[in-house]
Amino acid sequence: GQQLNQSPQSMFIQEGEDVSMNCTSSSIFNTWLWYKQDPGEGPVLLIALYKAGELTSNGRLTAQFGITRKDSFLNISASIPSDVGIYFCAGLKRGGSGNTGKLIFGQGTTLQVKP
């Protein structure tokens, strides 16, 4: 099946540092989404990207939709302890009738922040 390769698999950083993670695919996606999941909870939508080359920010988070439509990255600036969690990228293909509904998820990046 389709896969998204997300890297790095895990990160352990100092509070205040910037973080960067990315997602690549062998096929094209029309929409890229970034989610954060805390233990025992469902994923929470952070940022949605709809156009190739689009750069979108949400507070300290910035995400970009790659020009080739096969990749996306997420940056977190000035990390804080509550940034701890698992970050997932997800790609969505848009079929002929519109929303195909099927999100393809990466394997996740586990972020740990040392105070």
Partner 1 sequence: NAGVMQNPRHLVRRRGQEARLRCSPMKGHSHVYWYRQLPEEGLKFMVYLQKENIIDESGMPKERFSAEFPKEGPSILRIQQVVRGDSAAYFCASSPQLDTYEQYFGPGTRLTVT
Residue ranges that bind partner 1, judged by CB under 8 A: 4, 6, 30-31, 33, 35, 40-45, 48, 50, 88, 90, 92, 94, 98-108
Q: How far is the CB of 92 from partner 1 (least distance, A)?
A: 5
- Cβ of residue 68: shortest distance to partner 1, in angstroms? 19
Q: Which is nearer to partner 1, 31 or 64 (CB)?
A: 31
Cβ closer to partner 1: 7 or 105? 105
3-class SS letters over the chain: CCCEEEECCEEEEECCCCEEEEEEECCCCCEEEEEEECCCCCCEEEEEECCCCCEEEECCEEEEECCCCCEEEEEECCCCHHHCEEEEEEEEEEECCEEEEEEEECCCEEEEEEC
In the bound state with partner 1, the residue whose beta carbon lies nearer, of 77 and 110, is 110
Q: Whole-number minimum distance, CB 45 to partner 1, in Å?
A: 6
> Around Cβ 48, how many Cβ atoms within 10 Å?
17
Lookup result for tokens 């586990």:
110
Instruction: State in angstroms the smallest separation of the CB of 81 from partner 1.
Output: 22
- CB nearer to partner 1: give 62 or 77: 62
